[in-house]
Amino acid sequence: MSEYCPAIHFKVNGQRCAVHVPPMKRLLDVLREDLHLTGTKEGCGEGECGSCSVRMNGELVNSCLVPALQAEGANIQTVEGLATDGTLHPLQQAFLDCGGAQCGICTPGMLMAATQLLSINAHPTLGEVREGLAGNLCRCTGFTRIFESVLAAGTESGSPSTQRAADAR
């Protein structure tokens, strides 16, 4: 069985890659061990804490619960894919500005869950941020500043009221 590892192809942060791994290897471990993308963290390993959150085909997933074979053909975005050309993503900048990161282990997952939220709701309310991040646990309990960071990133591209006014025109 161990020698039977068909190539699994997918894109990570826009780059094509092929890995020869057992089909039941967790996507989390493929990212960290085979592709050396160690930004994605393992927390609980059972889908409860969100540390390993990545986006797969535009949806938020816990990479600890995705068998490698199910990533075949997928488009995956990890925390390494947020910054472009050395410029931080607005969410990353907001986390820095608002003190949204403490020990840092939950931060990549928080950023990916927040990226997912802002992709479908550019100006979320506090309640919507809380729901969007409900699956991501911060062991330092720094939730308030994390929520403030996401709200700040959400208002950066124009306040919700400005946006609504623009939509109305």
Partner 1 sequence: MRGNPEAHEMLAPGNLSAVLELLAAAPGEWTPIAGGTELMVAHAAGRLGARRLVSLWGIRELRFIDSGADTISIGAAATFRDLRAHAGIAAQLPLLAKAASWIGSIANQSRATLGGNLVNGSPAADSSPALLVYDAEIELMSLRGSRRIPYSSFHTGYKRNAMKADELLFAVHIPLRFARHRQYLRKVGTRRAMAISKVALAATALVEDGAIAEVRVAAASMAPFPARLFQTESALLGRTVESSLIDAAREALLAEAQPIDDIRSTAEYRKRVAANLLEEFLKELRREVPLK
Judged by the rule CB under 8 A, the positions of this chain that interact with partner 1 are 1-2, 4, 21-26, 29, 42, 45-48, 50, 53, 59-62, 64-70, 72-73, 113, 116-117, 131-132, 134-136
Determine how β-strand 75-77 pairs with β-strand 7-12: parallel
Closest separation in Å from C-beta 64 to partner 1: 6
Q: Which residue has the tokens 């057992």?
A: 22
Query: Residue 95, Cβ neighbours under 10 Å: how many?
Result: 25
Question: Hey, is 61 helix, strand or coil?
Answer: strand
For residue 135, which phi and psi values (nearest 5 degrees)? -90, 10
Is 97 or 131 the residue whose CB approaches partner 1 more closely?
131
Is 58 or 99 the residue whose CB approaches partner 1 more closely?
58
Is 33 or 93 the residue whose CB approaches partner 1 more closely?
33
What is the spatial distance between Cα 50 and Cα 41, in angstroms, rounded to a whole number? 9
157 closest CA partner among 132, 126, 133, 121: 121
Closest separation in Å from C-beta 169 to partner 1: 27
Is 93 or 128 the residue whose CB approaches partner 1 more closely?
128
Closest separation in Å from C-beta 83 to partner 1: 22
Q: Which residue has the tokens 């089909």?
A: 23
Closest separation in Å from C-beta 11 to partner 1: 15
